[in-house]
Amino acid sequence: MKSLVQVQDVGMRFDTKKGSFVALRDINLNISEGEVVTLIGHSGCGKSTLLNLIAGLTLPSDGVLICNGREIAGPGPERGVVFQNHSLLPWLSCFDNVMLAVERVFGAKEGRAKLKARTKAALEMVHMDHAMYKYPHEVSGGMKQRVGIARAFAMEPKILLMDEPFGALDALTRASLQDELIGVMGKTGATVVMVTHDVDEAVLLSDRVVMMTNGPAATIGEILEVKLDKPRNRLKLAHDPLFVEYRAAILEFLYQKQLKQAA
Amino acid sequence: MTTASMTMPSSMPDKASEPLREKTIEQPVASSSATVAPVVDTPAIKIGRGQLREALSVLVRAVLPPFIGLALLVGIWAIVAMKTSGFPGPLKTWDAAVIIFSDPFYVNGPNDQGIGWNILSSLKRVAIGFGFAAAVGIPLGFAIGRFKFLNAMVDPIISLLRPVSPLAWLPIGLLVFHRADPAATWTIFICSIWPMIINTAVGVQRVPQDYMNVARVLNLSEMKILTKILFPAVLPYMLTGIRLSIGTAWLVIVAAEMLTGGVGIGFWVWDEWNNLKVEHIVIAIFVIGIVGLLLEMLLLQIAKRFSYEYS
């Protein structure tokens, strides 16, 4: 498969009052087209920092990041982002929130009716077409996140970056959104990088699980290939010995090798 | 006896229960109006005695305290008027008010016009001065909020000038404009501009980083950022600035007009003082208060319309 994103010897330092703080070091990662990669690790291990680097929201102190053959110098619509707290604009309806992104990406070459159809299709894909003219404060947290996902998908990005997209949701809503995401990824064949702290989520959704060591100066500890057949079904997987094995491997990494020192 | 007490509760609580019924309807309507309608009808027919009493007590609790307060004010006023000479009591003032408001829009030359004209010309000055202040202050506030350098540059100037009474600027206005009317408008401009600049700037600085990240990820143009993100996010702050500005402007216009003369509620107060018609001054005080209250309420309504739930 063609490699889409290359992360080469990337390090990240933040200048703080106490001097410079090394968040990430020596990160090397290749992400192929159509691949789903999750980043997992304890909090503070810099997984969100790595995602922001790929998004271009922050620029690395060392090394380079390349997307689609070009160096990442800032954010761009070919890299869609789903934020943890949905980040919908409260003064726009769900439809207009998605439309804003669609207009930006396709507005130059497509007519108004086509743009609207795109927006509607994106909202239908996440089953939000029944509430698309509602405002964000009128719908539940899970629905807001659906709209956030629709917004990112509607831009037809080369790669989709998700920063703990379901972190703020309750377990049941999270499960239904994960299933939704599995469906959408299956349909679109999207390339996804997702930050999570949920082991089950990581195994369920990804082709590769990138496990990160504890910060400061975090780096990639291990990479686990998940060779489960797609589409995946959470009920069947629960008893699948391979699933259990993957799960155990990640847990072992997180809670044995990288056990967080009691602060 | 019995008929009177029978008819009273049947007619009175009907009105009292209406706002309550409306409230109970309002919420479910959002989800599904079809299923709710019959449910509402039944309790409306057989409202229990307890519910009636509750509705009545809600009404009493809402109306009674302000009524007692106002009655107390009028009572003290009447006592003070009785004890002093020359200060008109409530009745005398009421009679004068009836005469004044029976013909609010008469014109007997430039210095003798009805109270309606006086209020309107004061409001006109406030509107013009405020309009200019908004036209200058809001863009300036945006610029200050967006660019740190500009903020650091302008901040000391604002800190220095803001505490100055706007009336101190009146002579400058007279000097520059040579006429009383634009000078009064000028003081309104000066006093309205500070809250507008400061609130707009604070609003811009407090636009949540999440929204700016959305703008960056979507790579929106400066124009789109301004219209779709900055402006709506700052609007509630701006409206607070506008409310504060108008409040101060309405305070200042009375004083400014006392000094400049012409037609206006402030000038009218001073004119009536020279005529020793104290009851008219009392009327003016009420009128100024009521107009100020109405302005405040109007702006609060507008602000409510544009406030979003950030969740």
Per-residue pLDDT tens over the stretch A236-249? 888 889 999 999 99
| CB spacing of B216 vs A83 below 8 angstroms | no
Q: How many domains does chain A divide into?
A: 1
Domains of chain B and any CATH numbers? 2-84 (no CATH), 115-305 (1.10.3720.10)
| CB spacing of A155 vs B220 below 8 angstroms | no
| CB spacing of A89 vs B220 below 8 angstroms | no
Task: Please list, in sequence order, all residues whose beta carbon lies within 8 angstroms of the beta carbon of residue A211, skipping any fewer than 6 positions away.
Answer: A40, A41, A220, A221, A222, A223, A224, A250, A253, A254, A258
- The whole-angstrom separation of Cα B272 and Cα B288 is 15
Residue to substitute from A67, A102, A104, interface B, most B β-carbons within 10 A: A104
Domain contains A82: no
Q: pLDDT for A20-36, tens place per residue?
A: 888 888 999 999 998 99
Domain contains A35: yes
Domain contains A162: no
| CB spacing of A83 vs B309 below 8 angstroms | no
Domain contains A99: no
- The whole-angstrom separation of Cα B148 and Cα B150 is 5
- How many CB atoms lie under 10 A from the CB of residue B124? 14
Domain contains A61: yes
- Provide the whole-model pTM: 0.73
- The whole-angstrom separation of Cα B177 and Cα B173 is 6
- CATH of residue A16: 3.40.50.300
B229 touches chain A (CB under 8 A): yes
H or E element, residue A172: helix A171-188
Domain contains A21: yes
User: Among residues 167-186 of chain B, which lie with CB inside 8 Å of chain A?
Assistant: none
User: Among residues 13-52 of chain B, which lie with CB inside 8 Å of chain A?
Assistant: 30
List Cα–Cα distances, A89 to A74, A96, A116, B124, in angstroms: 22, 9, 18, 37
Domain contains A59: yes
Domain contains A20: yes
- Identify the domain containing residue A233 by its residue range: 1-72+201-263
Chain B residue numbers touching A135 (CB-CB < 8 A): 308
pLDDT (tens place) for every residue of chain A, 263 residues total:
688 899 999 999 888 888 888 888 899 999 999 899 999 988 878 888 999 999 998 899 999 999 988 899 988 888 989 988 888 999 999 999 999 999 988 988 889 999 999 999 989 888 888 888 999 988 988 899 889 988 988 888 889 999 988 887 888 888 888 888 888 888 888 899 999 988 999 999 999 999 998 878 888 988 999 888 877 888 888 888 999 999 999 998 888 877 765 44
Q: State the ipTM, two decimals.
A: 0.80
Chain A residue numbers touching B223 (CB-CB < 8 A): none
| CB spacing of B309 vs A137 below 8 angstroms | yes
